[in-house]
Amino acid sequence: MVKDWQYSKRNQQCSDCEHSFTDGEDVFSMLRMFEGDLQRADLCRACFDARDESTDVVYWRTSQHENRQALRLDFDMLLALLEKLLADERDDRKDLSYLLSLLLVRHRKLRLERVQMKGPQEVMLLRKTRTKKTFAVESREMTDERRSELSKQLTELVDPTKEANI
C-alpha cells in the first residue's frame, strides 16, 4: 500500500501498476481515501478505468509532459474539493471536510461566520473570502492520532515542504 505518498516523491510511474508513463500520455491524478488514509495517486488509463470508484475523492486528467509544479493543488482546487466532499455522507469524508475547512480558514480562504447546532451536531458556517459563497461543515470529533495523520496528509497536498499545523 502506497501510504506515504509525498508530492516531492512523485515519480513518473503509475501508482498502481508501476507502468512508466511515456511523454504526452494521459495521466489521471487523483486523491483517494483508502482505509482511512488520504492518498495522492497518478494512474495510467487502464488502472484508472479499473479503479475502485468508491475510493475517489477527486481526480483530474493531466499529461506526462506537464510541469510538475502545475500539479500542485491550489486553493481554488481545494475549495472545489471541499464542495465535493461536503456532498458525501461517509464519515472519513466528513473528517476530511472538517480538517480541510480549518486549513482553508488558516490560509484565509474561508471565514468562520458562525457556529450553529443542528440537533446534537455542531456545524460551522464558513464563507469564502470576498464572496457570498458559504459552506456548512460539521465539526468532527476524532482522536488526536487520526487528526494529526489526516492533517499531515492534507498539508502535504498543499505544500509538501511544510509540517502539518492545522
Q: Which residues here bind Zn ion, judged by CB under 5 A?
A: 14, 16-17, 19, 44, 47
Among residues 16 and 37, whose Cβ is nearest to Zn ion? 16
Q: How far is Cα 11 from Cα 23, in angstroms, rounded to an integer?
A: 13
Among residues 5 and 135, whose Cβ is nearest to Zn ion? 5
In whole angstroms, the minimum distance from the beta carbon of 56 to Zn ion comes to: 16
In whole angstroms, the minimum distance from the beta carbon of 43 to Zn ion comes to: 5
Q: How far is Cα 97 from Cα 87, in angstroms, rounded to an integer?
A: 10
Residue type, 163: E
In whole angstroms, the minimum distance from the beta carbon of 27 to Zn ion comes to: 10
C-alpha cell at 25: 500520455
Among residues 10 and 19, whose Cβ is nearest to Zn ion? 19
Among residues 17 and 112, whose Cβ is nearest to Zn ion? 17
Q: Are 12 and 20 in contact (CB under 8 A)?
A: yes
In whole angstroms, the minimum distance from the beta carbon of 60 to Zn ion comes to: 17
Among residues 16 and 88, whose Cβ is nearest to Zn ion? 16
In whole angstroms, the minimum distance from the beta carbon of 95 to Zn ion comes to: 28
